[in-house]
Structure formats: structure tokens, C-alpha cells
Amino acid sequence: MTTAEQAGPSFTLRGITLDCEDPQALAGFYRELLGATGTGDDSPDWVTISEPKSGVLISFQRARHYRPPIWPPEEQGQQMMLHFDVQVDDLAAAAARAESLGATRMEFQPQDDVRVYADPAGHPFCLFV
């Protein structure tokens, strides 16, 4: 048996999918925030963008009964399943840009050098230097 056969199949994380009520709108927010491009894989219920620096694909799918997560987490609330960590070169300028695009600064900020925001659909994301 070769080393490749012993190691098993290869896995590569290629993308992430977020549930939301309006895939077109949420994809537009992240397209502007990240300078991402569309992939042409759009429909009313599904949109995919490509983050230009990493090449990671971010897809947005319609979830008819979507409930935004609660930040910070509460025992009985909708739990956050994941969040994006977005590195920036100027935290104040990036925070202002995110807000101008429709992000909401969360009340609870756990670190001085990180800003926690919610995107227009309520998914938390972090900006950090």
C-alpha cells in the first residue's frame, strides 16, 4: 500500500454557505465589504461570491424560517454556528465602511482590538487588525 493510499482521501475546504432570508441582498453586502466577485452561480434562492485574496467561495442560500443568531450567546437563544474573522489594515476605517454598508456594531465587544458586527441578516462577524 502506498503512502497516498494509507492517508485516505484528500479534503479541501472550498467554501462556506450561510442561511438567510434574502440571498441576493446578503451576497451584495459581502461583495461590497470584501471586494468579492460573483461566480455566475446565482438564482433567487442561491448566490455564490468569491473572496479575491483567499479564493474562498461564500454562498448564501434562502432559508424560509431563518432566525438570526444571538450575540453574545444565550442559553435559550438561537446559537451562532460560525462567524467570519476579517483581517483589516485600519480597524476604524473598516468599521466605518462596514456600518455604511449596513452592518450593526454589537453591544458586547469582548476585545479592544476586535470589533464584532452583525451583517444585515444578523450573522456576527469580527473585524481585526
Question: What does the pLDDT look like over 114-128, one tens digit per residue?
Answer: 999 999 999 999 999
Q: Are 40 and 49 in contact (CB under 8 A)?
A: no
| 72 and 26 part of one domain | no
Q: Are 109 and 72 in contact (CB under 8 A)?
A: no
pLDDT tens readout for residues 72-111 = 877 776 666 788 999 999 999 999 999 999 999 999 999 9
Residue 122 lies in a domain: yes
| 42 and 71 part of one domain | no
| 76 and 121 part of one domain | yes
How many domains does the chain divide into? 2
pLDDT tens readout for residues 16-65 = 999 999 999 999 999 999 999 988 879 999 999 999 999 999 999 999 99
| 21 and 50 part of one domain | yes
| 129 and 71 part of one domain | yes
Range of the domain at 89: 67-129
